[in-house]
């Protein structure tokens, strides 16, 4: 074996050892974190199938005996908990809101990327600057505006403030600004 191949072999072994050490350290860090996340989720699933009278027993029965679906039927049938209506509201708000944001962000992003108009760079800079304003600062003014427009307690109160998503406009502009498209 020549000295060059010995040096290359030594370098490869050293790189492998560094990668192995790095991998082991990452496993030592992320394994406990994984348990911190997974244990509450497993507890939630276990309690979902446990009888209500057994839910406060200690130690925890991770595999409930007997397993039951009564908790689910109780929630779905209870007139005090209109869960189907809540699910429908979430579906409507998420799907229509996403559609509005995609539509308006696409139009704005295309205009900023491909069209020339006076003040384009200034307006885009102001939009990017607005990302630095915390949402908590705008909470009360947005509420007052929605109240004055009589939009409270409606879907529009959720859709309108989110419609002009600066992040969406920026991402669409970056997409349309890619050369060759």
Q: 5-32 pLDDT, tens per residue?
A: 776 777 778 888 888 899 999 999 999 9
Q: How confident is the model at residue 97 (pLDDT cuts 50, 70, 90)?
A: very high
The candidate with the shortest Cα–Cα distance to 124, out of 181, 176, 160, 161, is 176
pTM over 0.85: no
Nearest-angstrom CA–CA distance, 164 and 169 = 8
Residue 1: what pLDDT?
Answer: 59
> Quick one: pLDDT at residue 172?
94
* Percent of the chain residues past pLDDT 90, beyond the cut: 59
CB-based contact 159:97 (threshold 8 Å): yes
Instruction: Give me the pLDDT at residue 180, please.
Output: 66
């Amino acid at each position: 074996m020549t000295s060059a191949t010995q040096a290359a072999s030594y370098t490869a072994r050293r790189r492998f050892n560094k990668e192995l050490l790095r991998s082991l350290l990452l496993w030592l860090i992320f394994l406990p974190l994984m348990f911190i996340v997974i244990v509450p989720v497993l507890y939630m699933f276990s309690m979902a199938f446990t009888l209500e009278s057994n839910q406060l027993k200690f130690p925890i029965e991770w595999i409930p005996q007997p397993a039951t679906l009564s908790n689910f039927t109780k929630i779905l049938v209870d007139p005090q908990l209109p869960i189907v209506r809540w699910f429908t509201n979430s579906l409507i708000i998420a799907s229509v809101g996403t559609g509005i944001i995609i539509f308006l962000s696409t139009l704005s992003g295309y205009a900023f990327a491909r069209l020339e108009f006076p003040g384009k760079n200034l307006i885009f800079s102001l939009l990017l600057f607005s990302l630095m304003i915390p949402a908590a600062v705008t909470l009360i003014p947005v509420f007052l505006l929605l109240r004055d427009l009589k939009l409270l307690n409606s879907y529009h109160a959720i859709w309108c403030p989110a419609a002009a998503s600066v992040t969406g406009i920026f991402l669409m502009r970056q997409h349309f600004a890619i050369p060759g498209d």
